[in-house]
């Protein structure tokens, strides 16, 4: 099964594709979609959307996992990032892909076992889970891989819970 993890943003959208085969996780590709500062938001959103579509078509994930947004201060930034997240979700939904969402605390819990883990701890565990030589940069890329790994660890249990709840 191929999972695409997304760390949404307006300037940088981190992405990571991993394959899950049994308990083995293998990195496929990872990086980021970047938009230029001082570019109109509508142009940045088109770039994010088109980048997502190209990645989905090229790497053919079976599901996409997004990090849920959390902002406590800058409302302007929150709006722009929310819009970018929305067009990324739209790209996945238009391709008919199942979408999962995880809070930063859920990702940390799944990766490190502690919901308030430090970012560096999460990044190091992602590096180890995926047998990478070094932690991917920028941080958005490592975060996207963490979301994908979180989903790989969580989706079976979540699927079974959803089946039970539907009955």
Peptide bond into 138 cis (omega under 30): yes
41: annotated active-site residue: no
From residue 22, alpha-carbon distances to 61, 127, 148, 152, 159 in Å are: 16, 19, 15, 10, 16
Active-site residue 7, yes or no?
yes
- Among the options 7, 41, 101, 124, which is catalytic? 7
140 is catalytic: yes
Given 118, 140, 143, 163, which residue is catalytic?
140
Structure tokens at 89: 């979700």
**Token digits for 88?**
């990324």
Catalytic residue of the set 67, 101, 124, 143? 67
Residues recognised as catalytic: 7, 67, 140
């Amino acid at each position: 099964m191929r999972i695409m993890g997304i760390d949404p943003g307006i300037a940088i959208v981190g992405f990571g594709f991993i394959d899950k085969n049994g308990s083995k996780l293998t990195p496929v590709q990872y990086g980021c979609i970047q938009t230029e500062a001082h570019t109109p938001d509508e142009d940045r959103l088109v770039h994010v959307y088109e980048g997502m579509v190209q990645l989905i078509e090229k790497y053919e994930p079976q599901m996409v996992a997004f990090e849920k947004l959390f902002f406590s201060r800058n409302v302007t930034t929150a709006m722009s990032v929310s819009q970018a997240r929305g067009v990324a979700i739209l790209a996945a939904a238009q391709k008919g892909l199942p979408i999962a969402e995880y809070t930063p605390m859920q990702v940390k819990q799944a990766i490190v076992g502690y919901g308030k883990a430090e970012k560096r701890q999460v990044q190091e565990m992602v590096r180890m889970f995926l047998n990478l030589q070094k932690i991917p940069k920028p941080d958005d890329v490592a975060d996207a891989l963490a979301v994908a790994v979180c989903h790989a660890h969580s989706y079976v249990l979540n699927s079974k819970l959803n089946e039970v709840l539907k009955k």
